[in-house]
Amino acid sequence: MAEPRLLRIPKSPLEVELAFAGQAPRRVELYLAEHSSHDYSPERVLDLLEHAGNFLPACDLESGEWESFNSRQVAWIGMPVESLDGGGAATELFEQRRSVRVVLAGGDVLRGELLYTSPDESSRVVDLMNRNERFFRLWTDDRVLLVNREAVVRILEEHGA
Protein backbone atom coordinates (compact mmCIF):
# COMPACT_ATOMS: atom_id res chain seq x y z
CA MET A 1 0.00 0.00 0.00
CA ALA A 2 1.40 3.37 -1.00
CA GLU A 3 1.95 5.97 1.69
CA PRO A 4 -0.24 9.07 1.45
CA ARG A 5 1.40 12.16 -0.02
CA LEU A 6 1.94 14.91 2.49
CA LEU A 7 0.85 18.43 1.67
CA ARG A 8 3.92 20.65 1.77
CA ILE A 9 3.77 24.37 2.24
CA PRO A 10 6.51 26.27 0.36
CA LYS A 11 8.75 28.15 2.81
CA SER A 12 11.40 30.82 2.39
CA PRO A 13 14.40 31.17 4.73
CA LEU A 14 15.03 34.42 6.60
CA GLU A 15 18.25 35.13 8.49
CA VAL A 16 17.65 36.82 11.86
CA GLU A 17 19.37 37.41 15.18
CA LEU A 18 17.72 35.44 17.99
CA ALA A 19 18.27 36.33 21.66
CA PHE A 20 17.07 34.73 24.87
CA ALA A 21 17.28 36.58 28.22
CA GLY A 22 20.83 36.64 29.55
CA GLN A 23 22.30 34.99 26.43
CA ALA A 24 24.25 36.47 23.55
CA PRO A 25 22.24 36.77 20.34
CA ARG A 26 23.00 34.30 17.57
CA ARG A 27 22.21 34.10 13.88
CA VAL A 28 19.58 31.61 12.85
CA GLU A 29 17.42 30.95 9.83
CA LEU A 30 13.65 30.97 10.28
CA TYR A 31 11.28 29.65 7.64
CA LEU A 32 8.30 31.68 6.50
CA ALA A 33 5.42 30.38 4.39
CA GLU A 34 5.08 31.99 0.98
CA HIS A 35 1.44 32.73 1.86
CA SER A 36 0.04 33.44 5.33
CA SER A 37 -2.85 31.35 6.58
CA HIS A 38 -5.38 34.19 6.24
CA ASP A 39 -4.51 35.72 2.83
CA TYR A 40 -2.05 35.56 -0.06
CA SER A 41 0.60 37.82 1.44
CA PRO A 42 3.87 36.26 2.64
CA GLU A 43 3.99 35.10 6.25
CA ARG A 44 5.75 37.56 8.59
CA VAL A 45 8.01 36.85 11.57
CA LEU A 46 5.38 38.49 13.79
CA ASP A 47 2.84 35.96 12.48
CA LEU A 48 5.11 33.17 13.67
CA LEU A 49 5.71 34.73 17.08
CA GLU A 50 2.15 35.79 17.80
CA HIS A 51 0.05 33.05 16.21
CA ALA A 52 2.06 29.90 15.61
CA GLY A 53 2.67 27.17 18.17
CA ASN A 54 5.08 27.74 21.02
CA PHE A 55 7.94 25.83 19.37
CA LEU A 56 9.37 27.01 16.07
CA PRO A 57 12.01 25.38 13.85
CA ALA A 58 15.27 27.13 13.06
CA CYS A 59 18.74 26.39 11.81
CA ASP A 60 21.72 27.82 13.74
CA LEU A 61 23.87 29.41 11.04
CA GLU A 62 27.16 28.97 12.90
CA SER A 63 26.83 25.31 13.91
CA GLY A 64 24.42 24.18 11.18
CA GLU A 65 22.32 22.43 13.83
CA TRP A 66 18.56 22.23 13.53
CA GLU A 67 16.55 23.13 16.59
CA SER A 68 13.09 23.88 17.84
CA PHE A 69 12.98 26.88 20.16
CA ASN A 70 10.27 28.09 22.52
CA SER A 71 8.98 31.36 21.06
CA ARG A 72 7.62 32.39 24.47
CA GLN A 73 11.19 32.44 25.83
CA VAL A 74 12.59 34.70 23.08
CA ALA A 75 13.80 38.06 24.43
CA TRP A 76 14.07 39.60 20.95
CA ILE A 77 14.53 38.84 17.27
CA GLY A 78 16.41 41.31 15.07
CA MET A 79 16.27 41.67 11.30
CA PRO A 80 16.82 44.22 8.56
CA VAL A 81 13.89 46.65 8.32
CA GLU A 82 13.02 45.49 4.81
CA SER A 83 12.54 41.94 6.14
CA LEU A 84 9.86 42.97 8.64
CA ASP A 85 6.92 42.71 6.28
CA GLY A 86 8.29 42.82 2.78
CA GLY A 87 9.45 46.42 3.19
CA GLY A 88 6.02 47.96 3.87
CA ALA A 89 6.92 48.98 7.42
CA ALA A 90 9.96 50.89 6.17
CA THR A 91 7.71 53.32 4.32
CA GLU A 92 4.89 53.45 6.88
CA LEU A 93 4.25 56.82 8.53
CA PHE A 94 3.92 56.93 12.31
CA GLU A 95 2.47 59.68 14.52
CA GLN A 96 4.55 58.92 17.62
CA ARG A 97 8.33 58.64 17.93
CA ARG A 98 10.04 57.93 21.26
CA SER A 99 13.75 57.26 21.86
CA VAL A 100 14.05 54.63 24.59
CA ARG A 101 16.32 52.29 26.50
CA VAL A 102 14.76 48.89 27.11
CA VAL A 103 16.12 46.98 30.11
CA LEU A 104 15.60 43.23 29.81
CA ALA A 105 15.53 40.47 32.40
CA GLY A 106 19.14 39.36 32.69
CA GLY A 107 20.39 42.96 32.48
CA ASP A 108 20.78 43.46 28.72
CA VAL A 109 19.88 46.95 27.47
CA LEU A 110 18.48 47.71 24.01
CA ARG A 111 18.41 51.23 22.57
CA GLY A 112 16.21 52.43 19.75
CA GLU A 113 12.99 54.16 18.87
CA LEU A 114 9.38 53.23 19.32
CA LEU A 115 7.46 54.33 16.24
CA TYR A 116 3.71 53.93 16.45
CA THR A 117 0.33 55.42 15.76
CA SER A 118 -2.35 55.69 18.40
CA PRO A 119 -5.23 57.95 19.41
CA ASP A 120 -4.23 61.05 21.39
CA GLU A 121 -5.76 59.65 24.58
CA SER A 122 -3.47 56.60 24.44
CA SER A 123 -0.26 57.97 22.94
CA ARG A 124 2.03 57.41 25.95
CA VAL A 125 4.73 54.72 25.91
CA VAL A 126 2.91 52.93 28.73
CA ASP A 127 -0.20 52.74 26.52
CA LEU A 128 1.84 51.12 23.76
CA MET A 129 3.37 48.65 26.19
CA ASN A 130 -0.03 47.66 27.57
CA ARG A 131 -1.36 46.47 24.20
CA ASN A 132 -2.30 42.80 23.86
CA GLU A 133 0.42 41.71 21.43
CA ARG A 134 3.31 39.72 22.92
CA PHE A 135 5.96 41.53 20.83
CA PHE A 136 6.58 45.19 20.00
CA ARG A 137 8.90 46.79 17.43
CA LEU A 138 12.05 48.65 18.49
CA TRP A 139 13.66 50.48 15.57
CA THR A 140 17.43 51.01 15.34
CA ASP A 141 19.48 52.64 12.57
CA ASP A 142 19.33 49.71 10.17
CA ARG A 143 17.29 47.03 11.92
CA VAL A 144 14.09 46.40 13.73
CA LEU A 145 13.94 44.30 16.86
CA LEU A 146 10.81 42.39 17.79
CA VAL A 147 10.95 42.52 21.59
CA ASN A 148 8.98 40.19 23.85
CA ARG A 149 7.07 42.26 26.41
CA GLU A 150 7.52 39.45 28.96
CA ALA A 151 11.32 39.90 28.78
CA VAL A 152 11.15 43.65 29.55
CA VAL A 153 11.88 44.84 33.09
CA ARG A 154 11.51 48.55 32.31
CA ILE A 155 11.60 51.16 29.54
CA LEU A 156 13.24 54.53 29.98
CA GLU A 157 12.44 57.40 27.64
CA GLU A 158 15.50 59.32 26.47
CA HIS A 159 14.43 62.94 26.18
CA GLY A 160 16.49 65.14 23.90
CA ALA A 161 18.15 62.15 22.24
102-157 pLDDT tens trace = 999 989 999 999 998 877 777 788 988 988 889 999 999 889 999 999 999 999 99
What average pLDDT score do residues 65-94 get?
80
- How far is it, in rounded angstroms, from Cα 116 to Cα 78? 18
pLDDT greater than 70 at residue 10 = no
H helices of 27-136, where?
Answer: 45-51, 88-91, 125-129
In one-letter notation, the amino acid at residue 6 is L
pLDDT at residue 9, as a whole number: 65
Do 148 and 103 lie in one domain? The reply is yes
Do 53 and 114 lie in one domain? The reply is no
- How far is it, in rounded angstroms, from Cα 18 to Cα 20? 7
Do 94 and 146 lie in one domain? The reply is yes
pLDDT greater than 80 at residue 93 = no
Host domain of residue 22: 11-77
Q: CA of 96: how far to CAs of 48, 80, 119, in Å?
A: 26, 21, 10
> Please, which pLDDT band fits residue 85 given cuts at 50, 70 and 90?
low
Q: Looking at the domain assignment, is residue 109 inside a domain? A: yes
What letter would DSSP give residue 75?
A: E
Number of domains in the chain: 2
Q: Looking at the domain assignment, is residue 95 inside a domain? A: yes
Comparing 8 with 37, the larger pLDDT belongs to 8
